[in-house]
Structure 1
Protein backbone atom coordinates (compact mmCIF):
# COMPACT_ATOMS: atom_id res chain seq x y z
CA UNK A 1 0.00 0.00 0.00
CA UNK A 2 0.98 3.63 -0.44
CA UNK A 3 0.73 6.55 1.94
CA UNK A 4 -1.51 9.40 0.89
CA UNK A 5 1.57 11.47 -0.01
CA UNK A 6 3.05 8.73 -2.21
CA UNK A 7 -0.33 8.06 -3.82
CA UNK A 8 -0.78 11.77 -4.55
CA UNK A 9 2.64 11.76 -6.22
CA UNK A 10 1.82 8.69 -8.31
CA UNK A 11 -1.59 10.05 -9.31
CA UNK A 12 -0.32 13.59 -9.98
CA UNK A 13 -2.88 15.20 -7.67
CA UNK A 14 -2.65 17.07 -4.40
CA UNK A 15 -3.01 15.49 -0.98
CA UNK A 16 -5.70 18.09 -0.30
CA UNK A 17 -7.77 16.80 -3.25
CA UNK A 18 -7.40 13.18 -2.10
CA UNK A 19 -8.70 14.17 1.31
CA UNK A 20 -11.61 15.95 -0.35
CA UNK A 21 -12.43 12.95 -2.55
CA UNK A 22 -12.43 10.82 0.60
CA UNK A 23 -14.70 13.28 2.41
CA UNK A 24 -17.30 13.30 -0.39
CA UNK A 25 -17.09 9.53 -0.89
CA UNK A 26 -15.60 9.56 -4.40
CA UNK A 27 -12.31 7.83 -3.62
CA UNK A 28 -12.05 6.17 -0.23
CA UNK A 29 -8.67 4.97 1.08
CA UNK A 30 -8.11 1.24 0.94
CA UNK A 31 -7.15 1.36 4.59
CA UNK A 32 -7.17 3.91 7.40
CA UNK A 33 -4.96 3.26 10.40
CA UNK A 34 -7.32 3.27 13.41
CA UNK A 35 -4.77 4.70 15.79
CA UNK A 36 -3.09 7.37 13.63
CA UNK A 37 -5.82 8.08 11.09
CA UNK A 38 -3.29 7.79 8.27
CA UNK A 39 -4.79 6.94 4.89
CA UNK A 40 -3.35 4.24 2.62
CA UNK A 41 -4.12 3.46 -1.01
CA UNK A 42 -3.46 0.62 -3.44
CA UNK A 43 -2.06 0.84 -6.98
CA UNK A 44 -5.38 -0.51 -8.30
CA UNK A 45 -7.09 2.66 -7.06
CA UNK A 46 -5.13 4.73 -9.59
CA UNK A 47 -7.60 3.52 -12.23
CA UNK A 48 -10.51 5.17 -10.43
CA UNK A 49 -8.43 8.28 -9.75
CA UNK A 50 -7.53 8.58 -13.43
CA UNK A 51 -11.18 8.38 -14.44
CA UNK A 52 -12.21 10.80 -11.71
CA UNK A 53 -9.71 13.46 -12.81
CA UNK A 54 -10.49 12.93 -16.50
CA UNK A 55 -14.21 13.37 -15.93
CA UNK A 56 -13.60 16.49 -13.86
CA UNK A 57 -11.56 17.91 -16.70
CA UNK A 58 -14.50 17.24 -19.00
CA UNK A 59 -16.38 19.78 -16.93
CA UNK A 60 -18.55 17.39 -14.93
CA UNK A 61 -19.51 18.23 -11.37
CA UNK A 62 -18.42 15.84 -8.64
CA UNK A 63 -21.99 14.57 -8.33
CA UNK A 64 -22.01 13.84 -12.07
CA UNK A 65 -18.61 12.18 -11.78
CA UNK A 66 -19.99 9.92 -9.05
CA UNK A 67 -22.86 8.78 -11.29
CA UNK A 68 -20.55 8.04 -14.22
CA UNK A 69 -18.03 6.15 -12.07
CA UNK A 70 -20.74 4.10 -10.42
CA UNK A 71 -22.02 3.12 -13.88
CA UNK A 72 -18.52 1.83 -14.64
CA UNK A 73 -17.83 3.68 -17.88
CA UNK A 74 -15.69 1.58 -20.23
CA UNK A 75 -12.28 2.66 -21.47
CA UNK A 76 -13.73 3.09 -24.96
CA UNK A 77 -16.57 5.32 -23.71
CA UNK A 78 -14.18 7.41 -21.62
CA UNK A 79 -11.82 7.77 -24.58
CA UNK A 80 -14.69 9.02 -26.71
CA UNK A 81 -15.74 11.55 -24.08
CA UNK A 82 -12.19 12.81 -23.68
CA UNK A 83 -11.69 13.07 -27.44
CA UNK A 84 -14.84 15.17 -27.74
CA UNK A 85 -13.72 17.41 -24.90
CA UNK A 86 -10.28 17.77 -26.49
CA UNK A 87 -11.88 18.94 -29.74
CA UNK A 88 -14.04 21.43 -27.82
CA UNK A 89 -11.00 22.81 -25.99
CA UNK A 90 -9.04 23.19 -29.22
CA UNK A 91 -11.95 25.05 -30.78
CA UNK A 92 -12.13 27.31 -27.73
CA UNK A 93 -8.39 28.02 -28.01
CA UNK A 94 -8.79 28.97 -31.67
CA UNK A 95 -11.72 31.23 -30.79
CA UNK A 96 -9.73 32.87 -27.99
CA UNK A 97 -6.72 33.39 -30.27
CA UNK A 98 -8.99 34.98 -32.88
CA UNK A 99 -10.54 37.22 -30.23
CA UNK A 100 -7.07 38.25 -29.08
CA UNK A 101 -6.09 39.16 -32.65
CA UNK A 102 -9.22 41.30 -32.95
CA UNK A 103 -8.43 43.09 -29.69
CA UNK A 104 -4.88 43.76 -30.88
CA UNK A 105 -6.23 45.03 -34.22
CA UNK A 106 -8.58 47.45 -32.43
CA UNK A 107 -5.70 48.66 -30.30
CA UNK A 108 -3.64 49.35 -33.42
CA UNK A 109 -6.60 51.20 -34.93
CA UNK A 110 -6.84 53.33 -31.79
CA UNK A 111 -3.11 54.03 -31.87
CA UNK A 112 -3.36 55.21 -35.47
CA UNK A 113 -6.36 57.48 -34.93
CA UNK A 114 -5.64 60.86 -36.44
CA UNK A 115 -2.66 59.59 -38.44
CA UNK A 116 -3.85 59.43 -42.06
CA UNK A 117 -1.71 57.22 -44.33
CA UNK A 118 -1.41 59.87 -47.05
CA UNK A 119 1.83 58.46 -48.46
CA UNK A 120 0.36 54.98 -48.72
CA UNK A 121 -2.85 55.79 -50.60
CA UNK A 122 -2.80 55.76 -54.39
CA UNK A 123 -5.72 57.19 -56.38
CA UNK A 124 -6.01 55.37 -59.69
CA UNK A 125 -8.47 53.92 -62.19
CA UNK A 126 -9.17 50.21 -61.91
CA UNK A 127 -9.92 48.25 -65.11
CA UNK A 128 -12.86 45.89 -65.50
CA UNK A 129 -12.15 42.31 -64.53
CA UNK A 130 -13.93 38.99 -65.08
CA UNK A 131 -14.21 36.73 -62.09
CA UNK A 132 -15.72 33.40 -61.13
CA UNK A 133 -17.36 33.64 -57.74
CA UNK A 134 -19.52 32.06 -55.08
CA UNK A 135 -21.83 33.98 -52.80
CA UNK A 136 -23.14 33.53 -49.27
CA UNK A 137 -24.47 35.68 -46.44
CA UNK A 138 -22.68 36.53 -43.20
CA UNK A 139 -24.45 37.70 -40.06
CA UNK A 140 -22.45 40.94 -39.90
CA UNK A 141 -19.18 42.62 -40.84
CA UNK A 142 -17.52 41.39 -37.65
CA UNK A 143 -14.46 39.20 -38.35
CA UNK A 144 -15.92 36.26 -36.45
CA UNK A 145 -18.91 36.36 -38.83
CA UNK A 146 -17.06 37.09 -42.09
CA UNK A 147 -14.19 34.60 -41.68
CA UNK A 148 -16.28 31.42 -41.29
CA UNK A 149 -18.24 32.39 -44.42
CA UNK A 150 -15.59 33.60 -46.88
CA UNK A 151 -12.96 30.96 -46.12
CA UNK A 152 -15.17 27.95 -47.02
CA UNK A 153 -16.44 29.86 -50.07
CA UNK A 154 -12.92 30.12 -51.46
CA UNK A 155 -12.21 26.46 -50.75
CA UNK A 156 -15.40 25.42 -52.55
CA UNK A 157 -14.68 27.78 -55.45
CA UNK A 158 -11.18 26.35 -55.96
CA UNK A 159 -12.58 22.81 -55.98
CA UNK A 160 -15.30 23.67 -58.50
CA UNK A 161 -12.93 25.50 -60.82
CA UNK A 162 -10.56 22.54 -60.68
CA UNK A 163 -13.35 20.11 -61.57
CA UNK A 164 -14.44 22.35 -64.44
CA UNK A 165 -10.87 22.69 -65.71
CA UNK A 166 -11.03 26.48 -65.46
CA UNK A 167 -7.62 28.09 -64.83
CA UNK A 168 -7.19 31.05 -62.52
CA UNK A 169 -5.68 33.92 -64.47
CA UNK A 170 -5.19 36.51 -61.74
CA UNK A 171 -5.88 37.35 -58.12
CA UNK A 172 -8.65 36.61 -55.70
CA UNK A 173 -11.15 39.46 -55.37
CA UNK A 174 -13.78 39.69 -52.64
CA UNK A 175 -16.63 42.18 -52.43
CA UNK A 176 -19.30 42.76 -49.82
CA UNK A 177 -22.85 44.12 -50.02
CA UNK A 178 -24.76 45.51 -47.07
CA UNK A 179 -28.38 44.50 -46.68
CA UNK A 180 -31.22 45.62 -44.45
CA UNK A 181 -30.04 45.10 -40.90
CA UNK A 182 -26.67 43.58 -40.08
CA UNK A 183 -26.47 40.82 -42.71
CA UNK A 184 -23.74 41.06 -45.36
CA UNK A 185 -23.70 39.42 -48.79
CA UNK A 186 -20.20 38.02 -49.30
CA UNK A 187 -18.83 37.43 -52.81
CA UNK A 188 -15.65 35.34 -53.01
CA UNK A 189 -14.12 35.48 -56.49
CA UNK A 190 -10.99 34.84 -58.54
CA UNK A 191 -9.96 36.21 -61.90
CA UNK A 192 -10.72 33.93 -64.85
CA UNK A 193 -10.91 34.16 -68.65
CA UNK A 194 -13.96 32.05 -69.49
CA UNK A 195 -17.45 32.87 -70.72
CA UNK A 196 -20.42 32.62 -68.37
CA UNK A 197 -22.24 29.29 -68.57
CA UNK A 198 -25.44 28.06 -67.03
CA UNK A 199 -23.81 24.63 -66.77
CA UNK A 200 -21.26 25.89 -64.24
CA UNK A 201 -21.77 25.49 -60.51
CA UNK A 202 -20.23 28.93 -59.98
CA UNK A 203 -21.07 32.40 -61.28
CA UNK A 204 -18.96 34.25 -63.86
CA UNK A 205 -19.41 38.02 -63.76
CA UNK A 206 -17.63 41.14 -64.97
CA UNK A 207 -16.74 43.64 -62.28
CA UNK A 208 -17.06 47.06 -63.93
CA UNK A 209 -14.12 49.46 -64.19
CA UNK A 210 -13.64 52.04 -61.46
CA UNK A 211 -12.97 55.51 -62.83
CA UNK A 212 -11.25 56.54 -59.63
CA UNK A 213 -10.40 54.44 -56.59
CA UNK A 214 -8.51 55.16 -53.39
CA UNK A 215 -6.26 52.13 -53.01
CA UNK A 216 -3.95 51.02 -50.24
CA UNK A 217 -1.91 47.90 -49.59
CA UNK A 218 -2.66 46.04 -46.36
CA UNK A 219 -0.05 43.62 -45.08
CA UNK A 220 -0.81 40.68 -42.82
CA UNK A 221 -4.01 38.92 -41.80
CA UNK A 222 -7.37 40.40 -42.74
CA UNK A 223 -8.26 40.10 -39.05
CA UNK A 224 -5.97 43.11 -38.65
CA UNK A 225 -7.46 45.23 -41.45
CA UNK A 226 -9.48 47.58 -39.23
CA UNK A 227 -6.80 50.26 -38.90
CA UNK A 228 -6.12 50.21 -42.64
CA UNK A 229 -9.77 50.65 -43.58
CA UNK A 230 -10.27 53.40 -41.04
CA UNK A 231 -7.18 55.24 -42.21
CA UNK A 232 -8.51 55.25 -45.78
CA UNK A 233 -11.91 56.45 -44.57
CA UNK A 234 -10.27 59.40 -42.79
CA UNK A 235 -8.25 60.22 -45.93
CA UNK A 236 -11.35 60.12 -48.18
CA UNK A 237 -13.24 62.49 -45.92
CA UNK A 238 -10.31 64.84 -45.36
CA UNK A 239 -9.71 65.17 -49.10
CA UNK A 240 -13.28 66.02 -50.00
CA UNK A 241 -14.18 62.71 -51.63
CA UNK A 242 -17.20 60.48 -51.19
CA UNK A 243 -17.10 56.70 -51.33
CA UNK A 244 -19.45 54.93 -53.73
CA UNK A 245 -19.92 51.37 -54.95
CA UNK A 246 -18.56 48.20 -53.39
CA UNK A 247 -15.23 47.92 -51.66
CA UNK A 248 -12.95 45.38 -53.35
CA UNK A 249 -10.33 43.32 -51.55
CA UNK A 250 -7.72 42.07 -54.01
CA UNK A 251 -5.61 39.27 -52.55
CA UNK A 252 -2.22 39.83 -54.19
CA UNK A 253 -0.49 37.27 -51.96
CA UNK A 254 -2.64 35.62 -49.36
CA UNK A 255 -2.87 32.26 -47.61
CA UNK A 256 0.64 30.93 -48.17
CA UNK A 257 3.86 31.40 -46.23
CA UNK A 258 4.31 33.75 -43.29
CA UNK A 259 1.06 35.67 -42.63
CA UNK A 260 3.17 38.79 -41.97
CA UNK A 261 4.06 38.72 -45.67
CA UNK A 262 0.48 38.42 -46.97
CA UNK A 263 -0.57 41.35 -49.17
CA UNK A 264 -4.09 42.62 -49.92
CA UNK A 265 -4.97 45.74 -51.91
CA UNK A 266 -8.09 47.55 -50.74
CA UNK A 267 -9.92 49.42 -53.51
CA UNK A 268 -12.55 51.98 -52.54
CA UNK A 269 -14.28 53.75 -55.43
CA UNK A 270 -14.43 57.50 -54.82
CA UNK A 271 -16.01 60.54 -56.40
CA UNK A 272 -16.23 64.26 -55.76
CA UNK A 273 -19.65 65.28 -54.38
Structure 2
Protein backbone atom coordinates (compact mmCIF):
# COMPACT_ATOMS: atom_id res chain seq x y z
CA UNK A 1 0.00 0.00 0.00
CA UNK A 2 0.99 3.61 -0.48
CA UNK A 3 1.02 6.55 1.91
CA UNK A 4 -1.15 9.45 0.82
CA UNK A 5 1.93 11.40 -0.29
CA UNK A 6 3.06 8.46 -2.46
CA UNK A 7 -0.41 7.95 -3.86
CA UNK A 8 -0.59 11.67 -4.65
CA UNK A 9 2.70 11.45 -6.52
CA UNK A 10 1.49 8.43 -8.50
CA UNK A 11 -1.83 9.99 -9.41
CA UNK A 12 -0.66 13.62 -9.70
CA UNK A 13 -3.61 14.60 -7.49
CA UNK A 14 -2.75 16.77 -4.47
CA UNK A 15 -3.09 15.20 -0.98
CA UNK A 16 -5.55 17.97 -0.08
CA UNK A 17 -7.86 16.80 -2.90
CA UNK A 18 -7.53 13.17 -1.81
CA UNK A 19 -8.54 14.13 1.74
CA UNK A 20 -11.51 16.06 0.34
CA UNK A 21 -12.61 13.04 -1.71
CA UNK A 22 -12.36 10.95 1.48
CA UNK A 23 -14.61 13.39 3.36
CA UNK A 24 -17.20 13.22 0.57
CA UNK A 25 -17.08 9.43 0.47
CA UNK A 26 -15.85 9.43 -3.13
CA UNK A 27 -12.55 7.69 -2.47
CA UNK A 28 -11.96 6.20 0.98
CA UNK A 29 -8.44 5.09 1.86
CA UNK A 30 -7.95 1.34 1.80
CA UNK A 31 -6.57 1.56 5.34
CA UNK A 32 -6.21 4.19 8.06
CA UNK A 33 -3.64 3.54 10.78
CA UNK A 34 -5.62 3.73 14.05
CA UNK A 35 -2.63 5.06 15.98
CA UNK A 36 -1.21 7.64 13.55
CA UNK A 37 -4.27 8.38 11.41
CA UNK A 38 -2.16 7.97 8.27
CA UNK A 39 -4.13 7.14 5.14
CA UNK A 40 -3.00 4.29 2.87
CA UNK A 41 -4.13 3.53 -0.68
CA UNK A 42 -3.72 0.60 -3.08
CA UNK A 43 -2.78 0.68 -6.75
CA UNK A 44 -6.28 -0.59 -7.61
CA UNK A 45 -7.71 2.64 -6.21
CA UNK A 46 -5.96 4.51 -9.00
CA UNK A 47 -8.64 3.09 -11.30
CA UNK A 48 -11.37 4.60 -9.13
CA UNK A 49 -9.54 7.93 -9.00
CA UNK A 50 -9.10 7.96 -12.78
CA UNK A 51 -12.82 7.37 -13.17
CA UNK A 52 -13.60 10.26 -10.81
CA UNK A 53 -11.34 12.54 -12.85
CA UNK A 54 -12.91 11.29 -16.08
CA UNK A 55 -16.41 12.11 -14.84
CA UNK A 56 -15.18 15.57 -13.79
CA UNK A 57 -13.87 16.16 -17.32
CA UNK A 58 -17.30 15.22 -18.63
CA UNK A 59 -18.80 18.01 -16.54
CA UNK A 60 -20.44 16.02 -13.75
CA UNK A 61 -20.59 17.49 -10.23
CA UNK A 62 -18.98 15.61 -7.35
CA UNK A 63 -22.44 14.64 -6.01
CA UNK A 64 -23.36 13.25 -9.42
CA UNK A 65 -20.05 11.38 -9.60
CA UNK A 66 -20.75 9.79 -6.22
CA UNK A 67 -24.01 8.43 -7.61
CA UNK A 68 -22.34 7.21 -10.81
CA UNK A 69 -19.73 5.32 -8.79
CA UNK A 70 -22.49 3.61 -6.81
CA UNK A 71 -24.18 2.60 -10.05
CA UNK A 72 -20.93 1.00 -11.22
CA UNK A 73 -21.06 2.44 -14.74
CA UNK A 74 -19.20 0.11 -17.11
CA UNK A 75 -16.02 1.08 -18.95
CA UNK A 76 -17.89 0.80 -22.25
CA UNK A 77 -20.48 3.33 -21.03
CA UNK A 78 -17.74 5.70 -19.87
CA UNK A 79 -16.03 5.43 -23.27
CA UNK A 80 -19.35 6.21 -24.94
CA UNK A 81 -19.76 9.31 -22.75
CA UNK A 82 -16.26 10.46 -23.68
CA UNK A 83 -16.88 9.94 -27.38
CA UNK A 84 -20.00 12.09 -27.15
CA UNK A 85 -18.10 14.76 -25.23
CA UNK A 86 -15.27 14.56 -27.75
CA UNK A 87 -17.69 15.17 -30.62
CA UNK A 88 -19.32 18.09 -28.78
CA UNK A 89 -15.93 19.65 -28.01
CA UNK A 90 -14.72 19.26 -31.60
CA UNK A 91 -17.89 20.96 -32.85
CA UNK A 92 -17.43 23.78 -30.34
CA UNK A 93 -13.78 24.24 -31.37
CA UNK A 94 -14.72 24.36 -35.07
CA UNK A 95 -17.46 26.90 -34.33
CA UNK A 96 -15.14 29.12 -32.32
CA UNK A 97 -12.37 28.87 -34.94
CA UNK A 98 -14.84 29.98 -37.60
CA UNK A 99 -15.90 32.85 -35.35
CA UNK A 100 -12.25 33.83 -34.91
CA UNK A 101 -11.67 33.78 -38.68
CA UNK A 102 -14.75 35.95 -39.25
CA UNK A 103 -13.51 38.42 -36.63
CA UNK A 104 -10.09 38.55 -38.31
CA UNK A 105 -11.74 39.14 -41.70
CA UNK A 106 -13.93 41.93 -40.30
CA UNK A 107 -10.89 43.55 -38.67
CA UNK A 108 -9.09 43.46 -42.01
CA UNK A 109 -12.10 45.08 -43.67
CA UNK A 110 -12.15 47.85 -41.05
CA UNK A 111 -8.41 48.42 -41.33
CA UNK A 112 -8.64 48.42 -45.12
CA UNK A 113 -11.37 51.02 -44.92
CA UNK A 114 -9.05 53.38 -43.06
CA UNK A 115 -6.46 53.25 -45.86
CA UNK A 116 -6.85 55.17 -49.12
CA UNK A 117 -4.57 53.00 -51.23
CA UNK A 118 -5.33 49.48 -52.49
CA UNK A 119 -2.83 46.62 -52.69
CA UNK A 120 -4.76 45.14 -55.64
CA UNK A 121 -4.89 45.98 -59.33
CA UNK A 122 -8.40 46.04 -60.78
CA UNK A 123 -8.87 45.47 -64.52
CA UNK A 124 -11.85 45.36 -66.85
CA UNK A 125 -12.15 42.09 -68.74
CA UNK A 126 -14.62 40.26 -70.91
CA UNK A 127 -15.59 36.85 -69.56
CA UNK A 128 -16.58 34.46 -72.33
CA UNK A 129 -19.69 32.27 -71.99
CA UNK A 130 -18.93 28.80 -70.68
CA UNK A 131 -20.58 25.43 -70.31
CA UNK A 132 -20.52 24.28 -66.69
CA UNK A 133 -21.86 21.72 -64.29
CA UNK A 134 -23.65 23.57 -61.49
CA UNK A 135 -24.93 22.90 -57.99
CA UNK A 136 -27.49 25.33 -56.57
CA UNK A 137 -27.96 25.96 -52.86
CA UNK A 138 -29.43 28.40 -50.36
CA UNK A 139 -26.93 28.20 -47.57
CA UNK A 140 -24.48 29.99 -45.30
CA UNK A 141 -21.12 31.08 -46.61
CA UNK A 142 -19.42 28.82 -44.08
CA UNK A 143 -20.84 25.80 -45.99
CA UNK A 144 -19.15 26.69 -49.30
CA UNK A 145 -16.02 24.52 -48.74
CA UNK A 146 -18.24 21.44 -48.31
CA UNK A 147 -20.09 22.33 -51.53
CA UNK A 148 -16.78 22.71 -53.37
CA UNK A 149 -15.76 19.27 -52.14
CA UNK A 150 -19.10 17.86 -53.33
CA UNK A 151 -18.54 19.30 -56.81
CA UNK A 152 -14.99 17.92 -56.87
CA UNK A 153 -16.24 14.46 -55.94
CA UNK A 154 -18.91 14.61 -58.66
CA UNK A 155 -16.37 15.66 -61.30
CA UNK A 156 -13.99 12.85 -60.39
CA UNK A 157 -16.79 10.26 -60.34
CA UNK A 158 -17.50 11.28 -63.91
CA UNK A 159 -13.96 11.00 -65.21
CA UNK A 160 -12.47 14.45 -64.55
CA UNK A 161 -8.89 14.54 -63.33
CA UNK A 162 -6.36 17.10 -62.18
CA UNK A 163 -7.36 20.46 -60.77
CA UNK A 164 -10.05 22.71 -62.17
CA UNK A 165 -11.36 26.14 -61.22
CA UNK A 166 -14.54 26.27 -59.18
CA UNK A 167 -16.85 29.25 -59.55
CA UNK A 168 -19.25 30.62 -56.97
CA UNK A 169 -22.08 32.53 -58.66
CA UNK A 170 -23.69 34.88 -56.13
CA UNK A 171 -27.42 35.26 -56.77
CA UNK A 172 -28.28 36.83 -53.42
CA UNK A 173 -31.45 36.07 -51.49
CA UNK A 174 -33.63 39.08 -50.57
CA UNK A 175 -35.97 36.93 -48.47
CA UNK A 176 -33.16 35.25 -46.51
CA UNK A 177 -31.99 36.56 -43.15
CA UNK A 178 -28.51 35.02 -43.07
CA UNK A 179 -28.26 32.51 -45.92
CA UNK A 180 -27.27 33.18 -49.52
CA UNK A 181 -28.59 31.81 -52.80
CA UNK A 182 -25.65 30.69 -54.87
CA UNK A 183 -24.39 28.24 -57.47
CA UNK A 184 -21.16 26.30 -57.46
CA UNK A 185 -20.08 25.91 -61.08
CA UNK A 186 -17.25 24.02 -62.73
CA UNK A 187 -16.42 24.51 -66.44
CA UNK A 188 -16.73 21.40 -68.64
CA UNK A 189 -15.90 20.75 -72.28
CA UNK A 190 -18.06 17.73 -73.06
CA UNK A 191 -21.19 16.28 -71.51
CA UNK A 192 -21.84 15.29 -67.91
CA UNK A 193 -24.83 13.40 -66.52
CA UNK A 194 -27.39 15.51 -64.68
CA UNK A 195 -28.80 14.46 -61.31
CA UNK A 196 -31.17 15.85 -58.72
CA UNK A 197 -28.27 17.94 -57.42
CA UNK A 198 -26.29 18.75 -60.54
CA UNK A 199 -27.34 20.52 -63.74
CA UNK A 200 -25.50 21.42 -66.94
CA UNK A 201 -25.85 25.13 -67.69
CA UNK A 202 -24.29 27.80 -69.84
CA UNK A 203 -22.94 30.71 -67.85
CA UNK A 204 -23.46 33.90 -69.87
CA UNK A 205 -20.69 36.20 -70.99
CA UNK A 206 -20.15 39.42 -69.11
CA UNK A 207 -17.86 42.39 -68.82
CA UNK A 208 -16.52 42.59 -65.29
CA UNK A 209 -14.17 44.41 -62.98
CA UNK A 210 -11.66 41.72 -62.06
CA UNK A 211 -9.25 41.51 -59.16
CA UNK A 212 -7.02 38.58 -58.16
CA UNK A 213 -6.30 38.07 -54.48
CA UNK A 214 -5.98 35.45 -51.73
CA UNK A 215 -9.12 34.47 -49.86
CA UNK A 216 -11.03 31.71 -48.09
CA UNK A 217 -14.32 30.60 -49.67
CA UNK A 218 -16.07 30.53 -46.28
CA UNK A 219 -15.16 34.11 -45.30
CA UNK A 220 -16.10 37.51 -46.67
CA UNK A 221 -13.14 39.13 -48.40
CA UNK A 222 -12.14 42.76 -47.80
CA UNK A 223 -11.42 43.00 -51.54
CA UNK A 224 -15.05 44.10 -52.03
CA UNK A 225 -14.04 47.50 -50.66
CA UNK A 226 -11.28 47.80 -53.25
CA UNK A 227 -13.68 46.84 -56.03
CA UNK A 228 -16.30 49.32 -54.82
CA UNK A 229 -13.83 52.20 -54.61
CA UNK A 230 -12.39 51.41 -58.05
CA UNK A 231 -15.85 51.25 -59.66
CA UNK A 232 -16.84 54.59 -58.11
CA UNK A 233 -13.60 56.37 -59.03
CA UNK A 234 -13.69 55.18 -62.63
CA UNK A 235 -17.34 56.00 -63.28
CA UNK A 236 -18.64 52.47 -63.88
CA UNK A 237 -21.98 51.03 -62.84
CA UNK A 238 -22.68 47.49 -61.59
CA UNK A 239 -24.96 45.50 -63.88
CA UNK A 240 -28.02 44.69 -61.74
CA UNK A 241 -29.26 41.67 -63.70
CA UNK A 242 -26.00 39.68 -63.66
CA UNK A 243 -24.67 37.87 -60.57
CA UNK A 244 -21.13 38.50 -59.39
CA UNK A 245 -18.70 35.59 -59.32
CA UNK A 246 -15.69 34.37 -57.42
CA UNK A 247 -13.38 31.96 -59.21
CA UNK A 248 -11.23 29.78 -56.95
CA UNK A 249 -8.24 29.04 -59.13
CA UNK A 250 -5.86 27.03 -56.96
CA UNK A 251 -5.38 26.28 -53.25
CA UNK A 252 -2.36 27.71 -51.47
CA UNK A 253 -0.12 25.08 -49.97
CA UNK A 254 0.98 27.41 -47.17
CA UNK A 255 -2.49 28.72 -46.30
CA UNK A 256 -5.18 26.80 -44.46
CA UNK A 257 -8.22 26.81 -46.72
CA UNK A 258 -6.91 29.75 -48.76
CA UNK A 259 -7.12 30.02 -52.55
CA UNK A 260 -5.81 32.22 -55.30
CA UNK A 261 -9.15 33.86 -56.12
CA UNK A 262 -10.48 36.04 -58.92
CA UNK A 263 -13.43 38.22 -57.93
CA UNK A 264 -15.61 39.37 -60.85
CA UNK A 265 -18.14 42.21 -60.52
CA UNK A 266 -20.34 42.62 -63.65
CA UNK A 267 -20.37 46.11 -65.19
CA UNK A 268 -22.65 48.03 -67.49
CA UNK A 269 -20.29 48.48 -70.43
Q: Which residue of 2 aligns with 1:227?
A: 222
Q: Any gaps of 5 or more consecutive residues in structure 1?
A: 139-144
Q: Which residue of 1 aligns with 2:6?
A: 6
Task: Quote the offset at 1:224 in angstroms.
Answer: 5.3
- TM-score, normalised to structure 1, is 0.84
Q: Which residue of 1 aligns with 2:262?
A: 265
Could you list the structure 1 runs, at least 4 aligned residues long, displaced by more than 6 angstroms after superposition: none
Q: Which residue of 2 aligns with 1:134?
A: 135
Q: Which residue of 1 aligns with 2:185?
A: 189
Question: Of the candidates 142, 153, 174, which is equivalent to residue 168 of structure 2?
Answer: 174
Task: Quote the offset at 1:40 in angstroms.
Answer: 2.3
Counterpart mapping for 1:61-72 below 5 A: 61-72=61-72
Question: Of the candidates 146, 149, 173, which is equivalent to residue 155 of structure 1?
Answer: 149
Q: Secondary structure at the match of 1:193?
A: coil
Question: Of the candidates 230, 236, 243, which is equivalent to residue 241 of structure 1?
Answer: 236
Q: Secondary structure at the match of 2:243?
A: coil
Alignment CA distance shift 1:16-1:187 (3 Å)? farther
Task: Quote the offset at 1:161 in angstroms.
Answer: 2.9
Q: What is the aligned length?
A: 263
Q: Secondary structure at the match of 1:264?
A: strand
Q: 1-side partners of 2:74 and 2:215: how far apart?
A: 48
Is contact 2:27-2:48 (8 Å) kept? yes
Q: Which residue of 1 aligns with 2:141?
A: 146
Q: Secondary structure at the match of 1:188?
A: strand
- TM-score, normalised to structure 2, is 0.85
CA offsets per residue over residues 190-216 of structure 1, 9 Å max, x none? 1112357656851111111112x1211
Q: Any gaps of 5 or more consecutive residues in structure 2?
A: none
